[in-house]
Structure formats: structure tokens, C-alpha cells
Amino acid sequence: MSKNFVRTLCAGVAAFALATSLACASPDKPVIGIVMKIGGIPWFNAMDAGIKKRADQLGVKAFMVGPTSADPALQVRAIEDLIAQRVDVIGVVPNDAKVLEPVLQRARAAGIKVITHESPNQENADWDFELASVKGFGEAYGKRLAAAMGGKGEYAVFVGSLTVPLHNAWADAAIAYLKANDPDMKLVGDRYGVAENVDASRQTALDLMRAHPDLKGILAFGSQGPIGAARAVDETHKKGQVVVLGPFSPGQGKRLVHDGILTGGYMWNPELAGEVFVTLGTMVAKGEPVKDGTNIPGLGVVHPQGHDLIVDQLVDLNASTVDDLAKLGL
């Protein structure tokens, strides 16, 4: 099929496409739909800004779909809609990797490329990219929590949900590091799947502090977990008694950091992740090879591990850095 024919076809069905949300793409201008974990929170607002920025730079169509809650079923529905729209590439930050496998398989069967983020080893994905390695990220948090707690005391771990692979892998790495290096630190329970919801994180932290009066630390993997836990510490006047660490949006957490309630953490730049979704999506849509030594803007030189592209680009969150990061819209 010639490019001129494609352009003529697109023009002829423009009104129909608008009415039915049917995406009309061409080989030189792919359409990329990216499904977030949850819409309307600062982390994914920043990612959306990166998507728009890079799409403008590359002259492609890319857009974000943000479910109203962190319910995997809503992500499945969003991906089904994108399949019906006949996009060229679907990107997704999974809430539940297993739940998404069948719908991602359907997408690939329809000829759609699939890219994931925060989900290494994702089944039915062409590529997954990570801006932090599991071991590096988890151990960095383990070391920082041990230092903040003086190497002893009870601590709890929050994750976005018990089915988010990356959050749980980080938790595994942090817990393993602490067991090996700080035996006087004791994990309370296993882990709590609340860290993508600020209210659930706050309530869980309140419950844990009541049930475990000797609790000295909360390590929360998920952008809303540190915020909710820190608010609980603030409400109970336990500043300086309970350490809270985790990745969070600087604009959302900077007051808590400066007040000394939220100790800080590490993150990567979600705006950069949004840009990478579009860059990598455009490459795979055009059939450009991704191999060992390929230089991908935003990731740098990559060394694929299976279909995973993993680099370490940690950003330190603390009282000295949080304001400048917040000014970037994060």
C-alpha cells in the first residue's frame, strides 16, 4: 500500500475516525497510546508531559490514557479500546502484570507493538524499559533506611499492590539487603499493597503504628505511599520517631520533606520515562533495530537483557534537591 493511498484513506475517514476514536496512522507517523497506572496524580501528570513533549519533537501522535483508579480491570479495558482504535504501539505501566498478559497477547496478535515500564520480564511485551535496576534501587533504599534508623528497630514495607512486579522486586531487594547487613532490623508483617493510594497508605500507617508501638520506619514503594505514611506520622506527632522513605512526586511531598516528616528517597524522572515511551515506540513502529550498543535518547547506550532495557538513573530526593525537582513539574 503506497503512502499516498494511506494519506488519501486517512483524509477520507477523518470524520469517521473522530466519531469512533479510530486511530488512522501511517508508517512514517505512528500512533502511540500509553496506559498509566492511574490518572490525575503528579507522577503520571509528569509522565504525560514527557509524552507530549517527545511526540511534538518527533512529529508523531502519542497520548496517555489514565484510569480513574489502580484497578487492573480498567487497564485491560483501556488496552482493549486502544486495540479497537488500531494504534501502532501500546505502552503500559502495569498494575498487575499477569492480568494484562491476555490482552497484551491480543494486541500483539493484531500487529500492535507493546512496550511496558516498571514491569521487567513482562509476558507479551516487545520491550520493557527501566530507569533503575531492581537490585540497585532496592539496595539503595535498604541502605538509606538502615542509616536513618540506626541499624535497628521495626519497619514496614508498602508496595503499590501485591501484583505489581517491580514494586515487589524492589521490596525483595531491600529486605534481603537488610537481613544480610542489619540483623537488628525487624520487618513487621510481610508487605502492604496500598502505596498507589494516599488514603489507604495513611490509614495503614496509622493502623500499624497503633498495633506496633515500636515501629521505627516505613519504606513505601509507590508514589502515594510515602505521602500517605508521612501524613499519618504527622497526625500522630511522631516526627523523628518514625522514618518514612520512598519514591514520590517532589511537588507533592516537598512540604513534608522540609518539615522533617518525610525523610526522602530516590526516584527516576517520570517525565523522562514518558519521553522514552515515545522514542522507543517510534523506533519499534518503524522497524528500527534495538540491539546491544544501541543509543536510545533518554536511556543511553543499552545492553538488552532478553527484552528488558535496564539502566540506573537514580535521582536523590532530599531537602536540598526537592524544590528544584518540583520546579520541573514533578
In this predicted model, what pLDDT tens digit does every residue of 226-240 receive, in sequence order? 999 999 999 999 999
User: Is residue 20 pLDDT above 80, yes or no?
Assistant: no
Q: What is the per-residue pLDDT across 27-37, written as a single tens digit (0 to 9) for each?
A: 578 999 999 99
**What's the pLDDT at 27?**
58
How many angstroms separate the CA atoms of 115 and 103, rounded?
Answer: 13
Helical axes 134-149 vs 165-181, angle rounded to 10°: 50
**What's the pLDDT at 28?**
75
Query: Which of 232, 226, 212 is CA-nearest to residue 154?
Result: 212
Helical axes 42-58 vs 270-285, angle rounded to 10°: 40
pLDDT-derived band at 26, boundaries 50, 70, 90: low
**What's the pLDDT at 105?**
98
User: Is residue 22 pLDDT above 60, yes or no?
Assistant: no
**What's the pLDDT at 16?**
33
Q: What is the per-residue pLDDT across 136-164, written as a single tens digit (0 to 9) for each?
A: 999 999 999 999 999 999 999 999 999 88
How many angstroms separate the CA atoms of 294 and 257, rounded?
Answer: 38
Q: Provide the residue type at 102 as one letter.
A: P
**Residues 6+ away with beta carbon under 8 Å from 297:** 275, 276, 279
**128 and 308 Cβ atoms separated by less than 8 Å:** yes
Average pLDDT over all residues of the chain? 91
Domains of the chain: 3-132+269-313 (3.40.50.2300), 134-266 (3.40.50.2300)
Q: Provide the residue type at 270 as one letter.
A: P
pLDDT-derived band at 41, boundaries 50, 70, 90: confident
Share of the chain above pLDDT 70, in %: 92
User: Is residue 25 pLDDT above 80, yes or no?
Assistant: no
Give the three-state DSSP class for 119.
Answer: coil
**What's the pLDDT at 2?**
40
- Cell 518539615 belongs to 259
**What's the pLDDT at 329?**
76
For the chain, the first-to-last Cα distance in angstroms comes to 43
How many angstroms separate the CA atoms of 45 and 57, rounded?
Answer: 19
C-alpha cell at 171: 521490596
Query: Which of 100, 90, 97 is CA-nearest to residue 281?
Result: 90
Helical axes 198-211 vs 225-235, angle rounded to 10°: 50
- Cell 532495557 belongs to 309
**What's the pLDDT at 78?**
98
**What's the pLDDT at 10?**
42
**168 and 135 Cβ atoms separated by less than 8 Å:** no
Share of the chain above pLDDT 90, in %: 82
For residues 194-209, average pLDDT: 97
Length of the chain: 330
Within 13 A of 182's CA, how many CA atoms are on the CB side?
24
User: Is residue 9 pLDDT above 50, yes or no?
Assistant: no
Query: Which of 35, 10, 34 is CA-nearest to residue 22?
Result: 10
